[in-house]
Chains A and B, each alone.
Chain A
Amino acid sequence: MKSMLTLLLISSIATSALFFTGCSGGTDTKAIGSVADAAMKVYVAPGAKDEFYDFASGGFSGQMAVIGLPSGRLIRVIPVFSMDPEKAYGFSEETKPMLMTSHGFIPWDDSHHPEFSMSDGVPDGRFLFINANNTPRVARIDLTDFRTKEILEIPNSSGNHSSPFTTENSEYIVAGTRFSLPIPNEDVSIQAYSEKFKGTLSFVKMDKATGRLSLAFQLMMPGFDYDLAHAGKGPSHDWIFFSCYNTEKANTMLEINASQNDKDFIVAVNWKKCEELAAQGKGQIVNVSYAHNIYNDETHTASSVMEKDVRILTSADTKGNVYYMPTPKSPHGCDVAPNGELIVGGGKLATVIPVLSFSKMLKAIQDGKIDKEIDGIPVLNYKACLAGEVEKPGLGPLHTEFDDKGFAYTSMFVSSEIVKWSLKDFKVVDRVPTYYSIGHLGIPGGDTKKPWGKYVLAYNKITKDRFLPTGPELFQSAQLYDITGEKMKLLLDFPTIGEPHYAQACPADLIVKNSKKIYQLAQNKHPYATKKEADARVVRKGNEVHVYMTSIRSHFAPDNIEGIKVGDKVYWHITNLEQDWDVPHGFAVLGANNSELLIMPGETCTLLWEPKTPGIYPFYCTDFCSALHQEMQGYVRVSPSGSSTALTWNSRK
């Protein structure tokens, strides 16, 4: 079965099997070595905690998975771009604005690349960014409570794929468009692609104090597909690099038509200079409309505003600060080594792994080693920028990360393996199979200045026979390898949510020390908060009814309400009065056309309920909060519209 797959992949690509090694094993014993040894390394005893947090994107689930390493245990799913009825994300009145866009409310997206906020080129444990691919957006997650606090839509973009990579101190978070478009978007013939369609690279500024995002400027680029990015560090601090493919500018059958050039590009942008140019008022302001959604920690409520205008810099504005470096062939990964000097391209269809040199690039610019210009952007000479090539690495190099001992690890989608090679002489030193078809890989801190080179993780696209079958639809999986020795050793397979495109891992301490346990009730500034039971009440405003309700072990106040009428819009504003760790209360009411609420200690959440027929409707706590959780319930009476039932509610007896 597996060798069949291998054969299929090999023949479909019509390449010689020369490059191919490994990935035909039936059991793992070869990759694992001693099973007991591997088990010892991943076993986290009951009550003990994992050493690393791993944040893996949920891909088409739109969310973010939080995994403990080395155990591979899923410890949290953070809702980001998709509604989540469990946490009422996108269902509660407070979180609905988070999913607003210029296209209206969008319940889903495809989230690809997590990225830590950085200080001096290493994760600082404050925030995690992630991109929405389909309707271009960038989200900021707060790592003190693992909640999405901000979502910024990216205008003039589509398929926000080369995002949200950040500069060395998270000065900027970038967002490069995968699909080029007419800018501004308009009704034109698709055949006009090569002349009318353009790409944009967006620079989102992060406010250091608050983490708040704002769209600073965009670069107008030729109509290629911009794929991934990584910022420079150390000597290359001022620069950021984007990979791009479809430099053929094909608009149909890209699998053939965008695979013709044997070199595409890595774009090098001097963001520091571009920032100055933007500050000087270069370029032009273009009128656009894009959503900016911010969750307020004090009111526990998100708001969405439509922002206007963006500054666009063209190649004429940025002359001398944007260059193309040729890179074989259809590059995906664009990865900068810890020293900030080497830039590794992952050419999906390339037979080598090109390693470009930042210092050589600067020299090539200085010496005018320019092959041609595309739309005013100079194309540097490949050889002049090249540090070296990794020969015969395998098939389908995608993505490279680094350890702290001078080695690089590149994922090979087609030959389904991880290849370890030396940054000194670019020679392959080891390779291990992955099961199957690895996409991205990840080393804790592996794209930063200081990798914690203990493990490499494979995020695989195909699972096939690795787990118990679940019908045609299988989950995707990750694999954990020990990289402390000379040889990589497979330790563990574990399932993931959605499709993990990329992940970021860091030592647990970085996040544990800031982790919140409760929300302070005293600091709750929700306009409908009820801070003590005595204040619980029901208020009618026309056909709107606001229930100011409290929950505490093990009752709601009030828990009997009469005088609701068919046609009313009932807002259940529920405040969890607990100030104790891990004591959420839930809320669900019969016939609600949305989700439950799950309210954390000190928090206020609101559920909109529009009962359609008269009768008695029970409500209850959905989270097993206490021994008398099952008693935590109540009734609401709904009368026909226009009836004279008085609005009444009880207080605690």
Chain B
Amino acid sequence: MTMKSRLFMVLASALLIGLFFVPMWSITLEAPQYPKGYELGILISINEVRGANEFDLQNVNGLNHYIGMKPIDEKAIPELEYMPLIVGVLIAVGLLTSLIGKRQLVIVWLVLLLIAGTLGMYDFYRWEYDYGHNLDPRAAIKIPGMSYQPPLFGSEKLLNITAYSYPALGSYLILLSVALAGWAWWASRKAATKLPLATAGT
């Protein structure tokens, strides 16, 4: 790998540090009672679930009790404990890749990232399904056949509430990270063919 590729790999890994600070996904709830500009928002990161505004999570939980949805409680979500570890490992492997400078390791890293991302999305879906379907049978509002699972991606109207579910800054960081790693892999291949002597580790 060229120095440039190694540097890109460092950048690709370092971008993932951002995941500790910014949300990956955002769910916005809009309703007649929560109009544009005053919607309720939930922001999901690898290490926390919080409201977009100070009391949004509390207010979402307050509203959800009418349909018997469990309150969203960070303590009940173990993923928030081990997701940071997984991301930490990915960062470490990424940095190691650039240190060792083996091109194939970049592919390994990308595959690991892809697996982690897919599992993450699947896990997100599973939680959404759980919150939306596992309802308290004594709930005040019960509509036969109705579940309240927010969409994985896009928007959906659930009773008076329109839920919007879209990736947030963290997800874009991952995309950028993938692009950088991909570029590192691609660039070092070109370097390998054009300047075999100047490259290291191929």
Contacts and interface: CB of A to CB of B under 8 A. Distances in A.
Contacts of A631: 140
A627 B59 CA distance: 15
Contacts of B172: none
Interface in A607-638: 626-628, 631
Contact of B55 (A579, A626, A627): A579
Contacts of B66: 626-628
A580 B140 contact: no
A552 B62 CA distance: 8
A270 B77 CA distance: 70
Given A579-B55, A580-B55, A581-B38, A628 B140 contact: yes
A553 interface: yes
Interface string B122-144: 00000000000000000011000
User: Which of B55, B59, B66, B141: most chain A Cβ within 10 A?
Assistant: B55
B58 A579 contact: yes
B140 A579 contact: no
A579 B140 CA distance: 22
A335 interface: no
B80 to A, nearest CB: 23
Contacts of A227: none
A463 B75 CA distance: 64
B54 A579 contact: yes
A553 B59 CA distance: 10
Indicate the size class of the contact surface on chain A: 10 to 19
Contacts of A581: 38
Interface in A515-542: 518
A552 to B, nearest CB: 7
A264 interface: no
A54 interface: no
Contacts of B141: 627
B83 to A, nearest CB: 28
Interface residues of B, number: 10
Interface in A179-201: none
Interface string A540-553: 00000000000011
A553 B64 CA distance: 11
Contacts of B54: 579
A401 B86 CA distance: 70
Contacts of A553: 62-63
A552 B59 CA distance: 11
A579 B58 CA distance: 8
Nearest to A601: B55
Interface string B36-69: 0010000000000000001100110011001000
A628 B67 CA distance: 12
A631 B140 CA distance: 11
A624 to B, nearest CB: 12
Nearest to A602: B55
A578 interface: yes
Nearest to A628: B140
A578 B58 CA distance: 9
Contacts of A578: 62
B40 to A, nearest CB: 9
Interface in A550-576: 552-553
A626 B64 CA distance: 13
A342 to B, nearest CB: 45
Contacts of A627: 66, 140-141
A553 B38 CA distance: 19
20 contacts: A518-B55, A552-B62, A553-B62, A553-B63, A578-B62, A579-B54, A579-B55, A579-B58, A579-B59, A580-B55, A580-B59, A580-B62, A581-B38, A626-B66, A627-B66, A627-B140, A627-B141, A628-B66, A628-B140, A631-B140
Interface of B: 38, 54-55, 58-59, 62-63, 66, 140-141
Given A518-B55, A579-B58, A627-B140, 17 more contacts: A552-B62, A553-B62, A553-B63, A578-B62, A579-B54, A579-B55, A579-B59, A580-B55, A580-B59, A580-B62, A581-B38, A626-B66, A627-B66, A627-B141, A628-B66, A628-B140, A631-B140
Interface of A: 518, 552-553, 578-581, 626-628, 631
